[in-house]
Structure 1
């Protein structure tokens, strides 16, 4: 079928994509006007546009929503990807730390932090959603915020101290708020 997208998700996440009595799968299909077929044995997924799909990116969006749920996000957060401004970024940990399970586990622990503190700080300061699952760190948000969160995660992966990462986020967060304030003020002046 033309415009059909195929992907594979971890088998243990198939249930999360389908949801109770198929409700999550149905929500994704309705939000994107696509048809989704899932093989629960292999984790293989195919996504096709429905006849009533008007958005040329419908299949692409559904693919990223399914991929996000496959990477550990709850479906509610993944559905934010129907917005054209919201993106999914996946950081593959072996690309940074090699294939050693011990190194991946250690880095995941550093990114999460004690009682989830580091992940929460990155999330709060950048306004993104983060899921650390398997060998990946997945981030959902707008481009500027994703870039900032990814930079913070990469700093941790490169061995930066948490204190340095927090200071970096604090500074960038302030700069971003100032830019957003100036943009808002500029837009308000246009209205006057």
Structure 2
């Protein structure tokens, strides 16, 4: 099959057919541009102007952009509802003048106590600056509902490395009847002396709520208190637990 005639034509013939003049050798030389002998200095580069979205290149070839403007994000209202156990409704009513000021003044939250549903409702608004204020407020109210004092629960608002750990006696050992009562008695001690000794040695706060145990403190401190309580549940004599707590307390003083 013969090739098309247009493909066999020379460039001059194609140019004559289209009436397009071809550049000569002299015109080609004129079109060539000489490379600049000097590199542009920093003063010659274009500085970014605020509000300018065009990209500029500096003397090292790096892109230089204008500073980004802070876009106002849409405000979003979030609410939290903390249920209060029936046996803690009366204490929270009595301590309400001490509970709401940290939430309103420190965390800038809106708070109310719903007597009908027996819960505390929290809500953020435009004046709330801390993004984690809602979670801190919920932890604070929940700590009080578990049985901690208001002064101890306020520490959750001021410190970031405090936690609450909850476990039951049956998680350690299955006890029933009088055996369960004796285990609770070993943890509390006479007039609460054993519990206070554990709190002072481990720098934590312990709440005994029937067969549930709540511990408030740092991560390592909670571990120390939990080990002492587990030893008492398993039947270790209080004297041996006191000796271990003295050793741990002396080590903690040396660290600090």
TM-score band, normalised by shorter chain? 0.7 to 0.9
The answer for the alignment partner of 1:47 in structure 2 is 122
Give secondary structure in 2 for the equivalent of 1:105: helix
Distance 1:85 1:117, change over 3 A: same
User: Residues 77 and 125 of structure 2 are in contact (CA less than 8 Å); yes or no, is this contact kept in structure 1?
Assistant: no
* Cα pair 1:97 1:104 within 8 Å, conserved: no
Tell me: higher relative CO, structure 1 or 2? Use CA pairs within 8 A at least 6 residues apart.
Answer: 1
SS at match of 2:88: helix
Deviations along 1:98-130, one digit per CA (max 9) or x if unpaired, are: 484655433222111011110111111112122
| Number of the residue aligned with 2:80 | 5
For residue 148 of structure 1, what is the aligned residue in structure 2? 224
Query: Which structure has the highest strand share of the two?
Result: 1
Structure 1 residues 18 and 69 mapped into 2: Cα distance closer, same or farther (>3 Å)? same
1:77-97 CA-partner distances (Å, limit 9, x unpaired): 111111213222223334334
| Shift in CA distance, 152/39, structure 1 to aligned 2, threshold 3 Å | same
Equivalent runs, 1:57-68 vs 2, <5 Å: 57-68=132-143
| Mapped pair 1:135 → 2:205 | no
Matches within 5 A, 1:1-192: 3-19=78-94, 22-30=96-104, 31-82=106-157, 83-98=159-174, 100=176, 102-180=178-256
**What are the Cα deviations for residues 156-178 of structure 1, in whole angstroms up to 9, with x where unaligned?**
12222212211221122222222
Larger radius of gyration: 2
Q: Which runs of 5+ in 2 are unaligned?
A: 1-75
Distance (Å, rounded) in 2 between the aligned partners of 1:163 and 1:135: 23
**Cα gap change, 1:99/1:155 in structure 2, threshold over 3 Å: closer, same or farther?**
closer
Distance 1:44 1:97 in 2: 33
TM-score (norm 2): 0.61
Equivalent residue of 1:27, what SS? Answer: helix
TM-score normalised per structure 1:
0.78
Calculate the aligned-residue CA RMSD, in Å: 2.5
Q: Number of residue pairs matched? A: 179
Unaligned stretches of 5+ in structure 1?
181-192
Superposed CA deviations along residues 44-64 of structure 1, whole A, max 9, x for unmatched, are 333322432222221222222
SS in 2 for 1:7: strand
Question: Higher helix proportion, which one?
Answer: 1
